[in-house]
Structure 1
Amino acid sequence: MKPDRVVVLGCGPAGAAAAITLASHGISPVVIDPRPSVEWEPGEGLPSAANALLRRLGVWPSFQASGHLRSSGFLSCWGSDEPFFRPAMLDPRGASWQLDRPAFNAVLRDAAGTLLTRQVHGVRRDGPRWTVDHLEADFLIDATGRSSALARMLGVPRRVDSRLVGMVALLPDPSPAEAASIVEAVADGWWYASRVPGDRLVVALFTDAAAARSISVDRWNYLLKSTLFVGPRAVLSTPPKIKTVVAGSSALSRCAGPGWLAVGDAACAHDPLSSRGLHDALSGGIAAAEAVALGDLSAIDAYASRVAAEYRAYLDDLAWFYRQENRFTESEFWKARSGQV
């Protein structure tokens, strides 16, 4: 039976997409998020495949008016010293974006409906109904990111498949007209650089968590200056403030159960090399909400099975891709990312 009240825990892209989609099906969700806003998050790119999702959610005009930058393409050096440039204009789905992430989140949060900014201290299930603190609901959606807070309260374990972290700095951009993003493989992992609005540059080293513990700011600077392409893109006038963020692959042992499901990173989180994070958050939020709106247990089961199958396939692809790091030519790099190799 179609639920009357759905509570969405978390209002990042996945939670907001779920809430917007529920409303389109005649369900008025209540969204609870402890964060009043997001000042900055790494992972500032949105692939062109997400453009259709933003249109579907009805936020495309607001998104376009939010000051995001168009990417001119992607420069990669993966397994060889010779760079390869893939121009964005060749993508039939339209522009990829270098995001003003707070503005992106604000557009989605504004469209998500009733938003309560507070912590959730506990959930309880009595028969078919949930109580979230003092709020009753028929169904709960966990959109709390990698913490998977609801699933953790319910005792659902989370498996960690890789311990990749990103050591990220937000720097002044010496060349704000340079619209290409860069990926460069190195012995310690791989580097990423991309401009974002406000004449800023995101620069990140992705490496194993154990290795990251021995990388000081000075060492990070040294490794950056040793790169062929990312280092020359960045100019360090003062020691950067580096934020270390979890970036590896992990997933819940099950992403749905009686009266609840998980979406986005709460269900499964991806390596940023896959460029799937924000796109999958939006598409997963839509798919989850549509399953909930059907009011059919088989739809929830189908959603959970699809998420699990896609995550297993992703792990196989990612493992294969990293094994190829030292043999790819640059054209093969991008063919592999698009599934052509």
Structure 2
Amino acid sequence: MLQLVHARDEVQDRWVAILLFHHMALDHTALEVVQHEMQAHLMGEAGQLAEAVPYRNYVAQARLGMSEQEHEVFFRQMLGGIEEPTLPFGLAQVQGDGRGIEEVTVAVDDAVGRGLRSQARRLGVSAASLIHLAWARVMALACGQEHVVFGTVLMGRMQGGDGADRALGMFINTLPICVSVGEQSVDEAVKATHARLTGMLAHEHASLALAQRCSGVAAPTPLFSALLNYRHSATQVTEALLSAWSGMQMLSSEERTNYPLTMNVDDLGDGFSLTALVESRIGAQRICDYLQVALRSLFEALEQAPQTPVQSLPVLPQAERRQLLETWNASPATYPHDALIHGHVEA
């Protein structure tokens, strides 16, 4: 589940290592805990580290929490009316092994990022709620539906008890969230998405299998095939940290899920970064571009016309829109304008 493999690189006169781990051992928060402990050893401060927090504490906390019946009531209320799966671009294989996945990371435009945070404060919601709504808009166009369902990654530590922020083990949970992207205004849609997200926090330990059974989509058809992982990734780089890791560098990192379409959104404190993990035939850059446009159009609508229907928010970049409407429609043939289309077909 967790191993560090290292070897001597004689050609470049260096040591190289790779840290391999499964999410059952480490999640995003736990990886930071491990890095902090490694840093303490490098700085000769290992003796100052706090006692390790047993994972069994979290297991007990989770088992003593909400009952399955309470989880079922919540998810039936949210998913009971969903009878069609949300499968963007027809991607239906949710038991993949991570192969054939393309990865692209882009930064969200600084002005858009600041604007989204400003609008979130105005509405009294989290920035994550705006990101979820923009992603829902992308999903709606990718599968032609108004009510979309996608997986959202929950931290699992909010109800985890004392010291859960320092424990290693399986905490994160993927659960379905349903977002309506229809005629309601962007203001209303943001508030509704925020209410749904905050409501889910009390159910962060629910079983994914239980949640999926609460929809009208019969197994083995997957309820959804896309994932949104919003995570806080702000790191404060200090002189001590730079000193501890002096002489070492990160060559690369890679993570994969079983889903064919994953969007990781890193909240960096001041800005945002998007990392798309998508089947190569769809294109990771393309998905990043869609979300970038959706975020910008959501921000502009909230700022200038908050009554704008959320279903009218643009998603296509100008280049792709031009290709669809103009380039692929450029035909040298001329047709009479006084005949009906069935007449053309008959002729």
Above 0.5 in TM-score? no
Shorter-chain TM-score: what band?
Answer: under 0.3
Bigger helix share: 2
TM-score norm. by structure 1 comes to 0.24
Of Structure 1 and Structure 2, which has the larger fraction of its residues in strand? 1
Query: For the pair shown, which has the larger CA radius of gyration, 1 or 2?
Result: 2
